[in-house]
Amino acid sequence: MTNLLIALVVFLTIAAMVQLVRVNELLSEITNKDTNEVTDEDNNQNGILFIIIGFGFLAFVIWQMITWDHLLLPPASSVHGAEIDGLMQVSMTLILVVFFALTPMLFYFAYKYRGKKENTAYFFAHNNRLEVAWTVIPTIVLTALIIYGLRTWDRAMNPDVSDATVIEVYSKQFDWTARYSGADNILGDANFRLVEGRNTLGVDINDEKAADDIVVREVHLPVNKPVLLKFRSRDVIHSAFLPHFRVQMNCVPGLSTQFAFTPTKTTAEMKENEGEDFEYVLLCNKICGSAHFNMQMKFVVESEEDYNKWINSQKTVQNTLTLK
Amino acid sequence: MSDHHHKETFITKYIFSTDHKMIAKQFLITGMFMALVGMLMSAVFRVQLANPGEYSVLYNLLPGGWISEDGALNPDKYLALVTMHGTILVFWVLTAGLSGTFANFLIPLQIGARDMASGFINMLSYWFFFIATVILMSSIYVEGGPASSGWTIYPPLSALPEAIPGSGTGMTLWLLSITLFVVGSLLGGLNYIVTILNLRTKGMSMQRMPLTCWALFVTAILGVLSFPVLLSCGLLLLFDRSFGTSFYLSDIIINGEALHYAGGSPILFEHLFWFLGHPEVYIILLPALGIVSEVIAVNSRKPIFGYKAMVGAILLIAFLSFIVWGHHMFMTGMNPFLGSVFTFTTLLIAIPSAVKVFNWLATLWRANIRFTPAMLFAIGTVSAFITGGLTGLILGDSALDINVHDTYFVVGHFHIVMGLSAIYGMYAGVYHWFPKMYGKMMNKTLGYMHFWTTFICAYGVFFPMHFLGLAGLPRRYYTNSSFPMFDGLSDINEIITFFALAGAVAQAIFIFNFVYSIFKGTKASKNPWKANTLEWTTPVERIHGNWPGELPVVTRWAYDYSKPGAEEDYIPQNVPLKEGEEEH
């Protein structure tokens, strides 16, 4: 039935368009004018539409910025994230200024210089001064932006990790596992060939550095302490994305990657501002298969005491896997 | 090459034609068909995103086995749709459909040649493309479905059928299809380059070439230099899949079983892929920008402002496009210093892009604009190029990319700057050159309706996506309902889907206008837009060889519009300079 209705609608639409075009053609026969020639009337109408719809588009943009502002990510919960937010604000302001200058100019020119039969355009083929100006000015602005961007990037990528807690984040279709490096703060060796039974990460149980490692399905972090995440993947490329911390890194099979950051706000603090339901979450951000959209792990940021209490209650590899 | 219109049978005229004009139409119509398929796919997955897990009548379009028992789209098949949509739009519509159509149609006509350097190779280029199309379409119906690992087909996902069903036969066919596609576009590209370098008519120096030809020329060079890399990249993937090599694979366990692969790197694939992939963006964009420059000049009745700067900007963008591919890979764990280099080169592209925008604005300034449907779309392109280009300053900046990488912010960005700009440019080209292609006029009123509905709907679809991205929503999610943090975003998704469906319906106006005008449109005159370029000096009736007598001789550039002292507001390129007249 629905298919029939759809077919009917399609048919009627085509019929309507044929009629419209026919009317047009008959009109042209009566008035003896080519209806497809663009008239001053057409120029007027389209010029005015550029004002109405063009500026309507700008109004739509402003409406979105106001209405959806509360949906955007809250300010960063990490040290480097705050710097990235600063760069973001500067860049966003810059592009909005340029957008709100050039777009109205384009639509206004379209309206203002709409054609009239008696007018002639102004022959203006080039002007070296103007051209130099609008090459040099963007160059200067971009130079500043590039320098600012690269400094931010450099600091975000090269933090001091000498006293960072080392945690491995391990990905597979379609879940995450984490491994704390334990009291020695060194991750024991692991190899994908050792994955077997309960040893889901392939930890080398003969490596003594592995004995104190702790395998968990939920990550807790002490606030204001640097943490170094090391990523591994078991099957395909995944991407560890922690939007609230401004952290993202691909997890690549056969390759070890890492990202260090310092969380600055506890989950409890975030709940106060963002609502009771708030949780830090790790998402997968690289297409990885059918349940890609549901690959998540909870992150909790808490005070050092709470963190210590939690980590001490977890079982080490020594306790969970049989050692030889 | 014969000067005369030789006898043609149905087969040599319409099927195995060696006439560049007919081949252009073959590319155009195949491209339009694929655009329709790609658009319907997006309509289907947009419905899923707005109403996750619910049944829709649109699902009737899908082959059997794609719908789960409860009537919803399968997550695997959602990814298949996204992958095929990307593949079709990027390669089939905006590479072959755009370059294939306009390079074929315009290069010989605008430089004053009787045909391409090799008509036979040109024909082969279309037929390779055609076979590639058939294989790609057939892959939709094989067991496991078509390729589903995203149009970027990153291994290991694309290499292992155990990881996603689409990486079985569907992926093999994808690789086969893209191989034939690359062969076809290389044959075409070499032909375009040779034709422009060797067959320009007397007086048509490079400095007098219309900007369309410059853009198509540079595009062809980009294609010839970068597509072979995609070919080798795909071949190595084929080896990994079929012959057990380890170019891209290492340390993998799938279904609880450790695979033998050792020492390969998926990052190598990404480097090879994006070495094509980024120039590809400009292979898509530059022809559209060339078309737009031409259409704006003709309908502003003014010379294009800063012709030399426009050519320089095209060359600079093309050069830079080869050294920025790493900005797609900031988050792969590559050396942060390398990231810095790619940030630097990427942001530099903003300079020639800004110059182009300012030059278009200067062309419109004090113009006498005639709003043909083509002109509306050309202005639409400039608008999209501004809107979408600016967000590139966010994505190209590695520090900012950390948080918007692979989110909907990217989807919004590239659909506007590359998708919309190029599609609008393509529409501008079709409306503008339709009279030359078919000897008929397209209906003006339907053209206006088509532009305004498309313009409104397109921004309604793609602008809100920036907000989804800034809220942290990753792309390629089957639904965003598994994360409470995205619960507030369903309104935005519904708005996007509404505009997407309305915009899809609006394209029916164009298809109707196109088909109707071919058969019943009013007859076109020789030069309906009063334009200067050489194609408008050819007769309305199509002949193989383009000009009935001698080839035209060029004496001036293509942009003498509203030149002071001239009787009319245009002077075609073959009109000799008057005594004492200076060349612009």
Task: Give the per-residue pLDDT at B122.
Answer: 94
Q: How far, in Å, are A166, A167, A181, A216, B549 from residue A178 at the CA level?
A: 11, 7, 10, 5, 78
Task: Give the per-residue pLDDT at A30.
Answer: 79
Comparing alpha-carbon positions, the chain B residue that sits nearest to A61 is B463
In a domain, B38, yes or no: yes
Amino acid symbol at B510: F
* Chain A partners within 8 Å of B150 (Cβ): 287
Task: Give the per-residue pLDDT at A246.
Answer: 97
* Chain B partners within 8 Å of A135 (Cβ): 309, 351, 354-355
Which residue of A87, A146, A253 is in closest CB contact with B252? A253
Closest CA of chain A from B251, distance in Å: 5
Final residue of a domain: which of B203, B223, B238?
A: B203
Closest CA of chain A from B268, distance in Å: 12
Contact B150, B86 (CB under 8 A): yes
Write the ipTM.
Answer: 0.94
Of A71-85, A118-132, B359-373, where does mean pLDDT reach its minimum? A118-132
In a domain, A190, yes or no: yes
In a domain, B71, yes or no: yes
Read off the pLDDT of each residue in B262-285 and give the average, rounded to a whole number.
Answer: 95
What six digits make up the tokens of B136? Answer: 């790609």
Closest CA of chain B from A59, distance in Å: 12
Which residue of A99, A243, A290 is in closest CB contact with B386? A99
Comparing alpha-carbon positions, the chain B residue that sits nearest to A33 is B522
* Chain A partners within 8 Å of B301 (Cβ): 115, 120-121
CA dihedral sign of residues A9, A15, A18, A23: negative
Task: Give the per-residue pLDDT at B128.
Answer: 97
Which residue of B348, B483, B522 is in closest CB contact with A36? B522
Number of separate domains in chain A? 1
In a domain, B275, yes or no: no
Q: Cβ B344–A150 below 8 Å, yes or no?
A: yes
Percentage with pLDDT > 90 across chain A: 83
Higher pLDDT, B549 or B181: B181
Closest CA of chain B from A112, distance in Å: 8
For the domain that residue A221 is a member of, what is the CATH number? 2.60.40.420
- Other CB atoms within 10 Å distance of the CB of residue B122: 27
Comparing alpha-carbon positions, the chain A residue that sits nearest to B313 is A135
Of A157-171, A212-226, A309-323, where does mean pLDDT reach its minimum? A309-323
Read off the pLDDT of each residue in B49-54 and give the average, rounded to a whole number.
Answer: 87
In a domain, B380, yes or no: no
What six digits make up the tokens of B83? Answer: 């992958």
Contact A280, A301 (CB under 8 A): yes
- Other CB atoms within 10 Å distance of the CB of residue B348: 20
* Chain A partners within 8 Å of B432 (Cβ): none
pLDDT tens column, A258-271: 999 999 999 999 99
Task: Give the per-residue pLDDT at A243.
Answer: 97
What six digits make up the tokens of B199? Answer: 């067959």
Contact B383, A106 (CB under 8 A): yes
In a domain, B135, yes or no: yes
Task: Give the per-residue pLDDT at A240.
Answer: 97
Percentage with pLDDT > 90 across chain B: 89
* Chain A partners within 8 Å of B167 (Cβ): none
Closest CA of chain A from B431, distance in Å: 12
In a domain, A30, yes or no: no
As a whole number of angstroms, the distance between CA B366 and CA A112 comes to: 8
Amino acid symbol at B218: V
Closest CA of chain A from B47, distance in Å: 16
pLDDT higher than 90, residue B580: no
Task: Give the per-residue pLDDT at B5.
Answer: 55
In a domain, A32, yes or no: no
- Other CB atoms within 10 Å distance of the CB of residue B69: 5
Q: Cβ A121–B300 below 8 Å, yes or no?
A: yes
In a domain, B322, yes or no: no
Amino acid symbol at B312: G
pLDDT higher than 50, residue B1: no
DSSP, residue by residue, B547-577 = SSSSPP---S-TT-BS-TT-SSSB--TTSPP
- Report angle CA B536, B539, B542 to the nearest 5 degrees: 110
Task: Give the per-residue pLDDT at B65.
Answer: 81
Number of separate domains in chain B? 2
As a whole number of angstroms, the distance between CA B287 and CA B289 comes to: 5
- Other CB atoms within 10 Å distance of the CB of residue B365: 17
Return the residue matching tokens 């078309």: B291
pLDDT higher than 90, residue B54: no
Read off the pLDDT of each residue in B382-386 and give the average, rounded to a whole number.
Answer: 98
* Chain B partners within 8 Å of A241 (Cβ): 406, 472, 474
pLDDT tens column, B142-154: 999 999 999 999 9
* Chain A partners within 8 Å of B149 (Cβ): 287
Q: Cβ B306–A126 below 8 Å, yes or no?
A: yes
As a whole number of angstroms, the distance between CA A111 and CA A122 comes to: 16
Q: Cβ A138–B367 below 8 Å, yes or no?
A: no
Q: Cβ B443–A21 below 8 Å, yes or no?
A: yes
What is the β-pairing status of strands A227-233 and A165-172? parallel
Closest CA of chain A from B51, distance in Å: 15
Task: Give the per-residue pLDDT at A196.
Answer: 87
As a whole number of angstroms, the distance between CA B536 and CA A161 comes to: 68
What six digits make up the tokens of B143? Answer: 């067991």
Which residue of B398, B463, B476 is in closest CB contact with A292? B476
Give the residue from A109, A128, A198, A247 with the most B CB atoms within 10 Å of its CB, the best one to mutate.
A109
pLDDT tens column, B395-438: 999 999 999 999 999 999 999 999 999 999 999 999 999 999 99
Amino acid symbol at B85: H
Q: Cβ A72–B470 below 8 Å, yes or no?
A: yes
* Chain B partners within 8 Å of A288 (Cβ): 157, 163
Comparing alpha-carbon positions, the chain A residue that sits nearest to B247 is A254
Longest dimension (CA), chain B: 84
As a whole number of angstroms, the distance between CA A82 and CA B549 comes to: 71
How many Cα atoms are found within 13 Å in the side-chain-facing hemisphere of B333? 24
* Residues 6 or more apart in contact with residue A79 via CB below 8 angstroms: A159, A261, A262, A264
* Chain B partners within 8 Å of A142 (Cβ): 347-348, 350-351
Q: Cβ B474–A285 below 8 Å, yes or no?
A: yes
Task: Give the per-residue pLDDT at B287.
Answer: 97
Helix H, strand E, coil C: the string for chain A is: CHHHHHHHHHHHHHHHHHHHHHHHHHHHHHHCCCCCCCCHHHHHHHHHHHHHHHHHHHHHHHHHHHHCHHHCCCCCCEHHHHHHHHHHHHHHHHHHHHHHHHHHHHHHHHHHCECCCCCCCCCCCCCHHHHHHHHHHHHHHHHHHHHHHHHHHHHHHCCCCCCCEEEEEEEECCEEEEEECCCCCCCCCECHHHCECCECCCECCCCHHHCCCEEECCEEEECCCCEEEEEEECCCCEEEEEHHHCEEEEECCCCCEEEEECECCCHHHHHHHHCCCCCEEEEECCCCCCCHHHCEEEEEEECHHHHHHHHHCCCEHHHHCCCC
Q: Cβ B357–A102 below 8 Å, yes or no?
A: yes
Which residue of A42, A57, A290 is in closest CB contact with B459? A57
Return the residue matching tokens 């990027």: B90
* Residues 6 or more apart in contact with residue A44 via CB below 8 angstroms: A114
In a domain, B553, yes or no: yes
* Chain B partners within 8 Å of A87 (Cβ): 397, 399-400
Q: Cβ B562–A286 below 8 Å, yes or no?
A: no
Task: Give the per-residue pLDDT at B3.
Answer: 47
Give the residue from B369, B454, B519 with the most A CB atoms within 10 Å of its CB, the best one to mutate.
B369
| A-B contacts (CB, under 8 Å) | 369
Q: Cβ A236–B444 below 8 Å, yes or no?
A: no
In a domain, B176, yes or no: yes
Comparing alpha-carbon positions, the chain B residue that sits nearest to A83 is B399
pLDDT tens column, A43-54: 999 999 999 999
Q: How far, in Å, are A41, A239, B77, B158 from residue A289 at the CA level?
A: 55, 13, 10, 10
Comparing alpha-carbon positions, the chain A residue that sits nearest to B392 is A95
As a whole number of angstroms, the distance between CA B373 and CA B450 comes to: 9
* Chain A partners within 8 Å of B476 (Cβ): 287, 292-293
Comparing alpha-carbon positions, the chain A residue that sits nearest to B465 is A64
As a whole number of angstroms, the distance between CA A64 and CA A53 comes to: 16
Final residue of a domain: which of B150, B180, B203?
A: B203
Comparing alpha-carbon positions, the chain A residue that sits nearest to B489 is A71
Q: Cβ A87–B400 below 8 Å, yes or no?
A: yes
Provide the domain limits for residue B544.
Answer: 531-584
Give the residue from B267, B361, B368, B461 with the most A CB atoms within 10 Å of its CB, the best one to mutate.
B368
Final residue of a domain: which of B165, B184, B203?
A: B203
Mean pLDDT (chain A) is: 93
Mean pLDDT (chain B) is: 94
As a whole number of angstroms, the distance between CA B236 and CA B158 comes to: 12
* Chain B partners within 8 Å of A134 (Cβ): 354-355, 358
pLDDT tens column, A214-265: 999 999 999 999 999 999 999 999 999 999 999 999 999 999 999 999 999 9
Which residue of B258, B351, B478 is in closest CB contact with A192? B258
Q: How does residue B9 score in pLDDT terms, banded at 50, 70 and 90?
A: confident
Q: Cβ B477–A292 below 8 Å, yes or no?
A: yes
Contact A237, A252 (CB under 8 A): yes
Q: How does residue A1 score in pLDDT terms, banded at 50, 70 and 90?
A: low
Query: Which three-class secondary structure state does DSSP give residue B87?
Result: helix
Q: Cβ A106–B379 below 8 Å, yes or no?
A: yes
Give the residue from B85, B151, B331, B568 with the most A CB atoms within 10 Å of its CB, the best one to mutate.
B331
Q: How does residue A29 score in pLDDT terms, banded at 50, 70 and 90?
A: confident
Closest CA of chain B from A211, distance in Å: 23
Q: Cβ A236–B160 below 8 Å, yes or no?
A: yes
Task: Give the per-residue pLDDT at A322.
Answer: 64
Q: What is the reported pTM? A: 0.95
